[in-house]
Structure formats: C-alpha cells, structure tokens
Amino acid sequence: MIYITGDMHGDFEIEKINTKHFFMQKNMTKSDYLIVCGDFGAVWYGDKHIPDSYEILDEKNAGKDAYLLNQYEKRNFTTLFVDGNHENHDLLNSYPTEIWNGGKVHKIRESVIHLMRGQVYTIDGLKFFTMGGASSTDSEWREPGKSWWSAELPNDSEYEEARKNLEKNNYTVDYVVTHCIGNNVMDQMRFSRTYDKLTAFLEEIDRKLTYKKWFFGHYHNDTIYGKHEMLYDRVIKIN
C-alpha cells in the first residue's frame, strides 16, 4: 500500500497522520509507504542523533528532531518525502547519498527516507518521478542559514539529472511527486502564485511526460486540477 499527503512542517501538521485520522496505518507494515509532498521539516535543528561532524544549529532545541524522527520510525509504515522550501537543506544534504529502489536517497532513519530531486524510483512496481524544492514567499522574514536556505531551489546539475533520468525512462512514469507545481497549473489557481525557474521546468516536463497522476503540496489546500492533485490535510491511497 502507498498513501500520500501534503506538508507536515515538523510537528505542526503531524496530527493528520495520527491513528484517529489515518486509521489505515493499523494494517500497514514497513513494506507499505506514506509519501509526504515536501515541507517535511523533521530534519531542521541539527541534533544529537546525527554524527558529531554535523553542526547542532540550535542547542535550545537539541533533541527535537530526534524525538520526531523516532516517532516516525516507530510507526508501522515507511515514510518517504520530497523536500519542500521549508527544510534545512544544508543539514538534509549532509546525509550520505544511497541508492534505493533505483534512485538516490538520503536515509534519515531506516524507515524515514528523503527522495532526492530528479530521481525515478520503482516502488511496488510503480514508477515515481520526484522533484523537490520551491520558493519561499516568506523568505524576507527568515534568517539565512537558520530558517531559510538558498538550496530550496534546485541547481543546474539537479535539473540536468532530472532530464537524464526521465530520458532513460522514455519520459514515462506512473506518478509524479513534487512540492510546488508548474506554471501551467498555477495559471488555474485562484490564490497567490510564485513563478520561478523550477515552476517553469515543471511545466516543461509536464508537457513531455506521460503519467497517471501528479501530486504536490506547498499551497496549503486540497484541490484537483485534472491529473494534478494538490494535497494538504488529506491522506489518500495511491494504488
């Protein structure tokens, strides 16, 4: 089984996956998955659960990441997430890169896995293309290196790797998981929109790609635009 939901923001939105709301988890195992469409936020402060070579960015909150990640690790399922804009990207990218199900990942815990940008994974026989990142609309109120990171948007090599991996798969996958969405879908939205290099790229691949459904978060709403599904509060089953 594979389920998917929107932003978690550390522990701020974690209630939506408690056993009362996400009761299906009672019948899940570590071979089942919950995918988070960015702004996971549980790798944020720097913590004593990670190697000494990683800086603890916030001594006051030391232990908070570890506590939250341990809560995920105790659950019946495996948690997968793409990165959003509200992530500590420097810390996240400090984890060793591994290959998992055909694509690059950061394994945060044994069953908490960051699906990296521009990758194609085969999960339960289904192909998923992932492309995290987004622009922060609140960056002017955040502090660089502490609550905002320029790596929230992909770099040129990540765009190049995404194109290469899609070419290898003949621009055909089952599902797409991103945080933000392409300009073509944002044009349909009736609320605040931010256009940038990433949203232009997502529109570019959307026009080339064959897929069943495209899931995304970021915009704090639950709406369907044809094959594009925005997730926030809902937890839905994919297959």
Three-state secondary-structure class, residue 128 = strand
44 versus 62: the higher-pLDDT residue is: 44
pLDDT in tens, 92-122: 999 999 999 999 999 999 999 999 999 999 9
Sheet holding 112-115, edge to edge: 97-100, 103-109, 112-115, 78-82, 33-37, 2-5, 235-237
Percent of the chain with pLDDT over 70: 92
DSSP per residue, 71-108:
HHHHSSSEEEEE--SSS-HHHHTTSPEEEETTEEEEEE
Q: Which has the minimum average pLDDT: 23-27, 34-38, 166-170?
A: 23-27
**Strands 78-82, 112-115: pairing kind:** parallel
Sign of CA dihedral 170, 171, 177, 180: positive
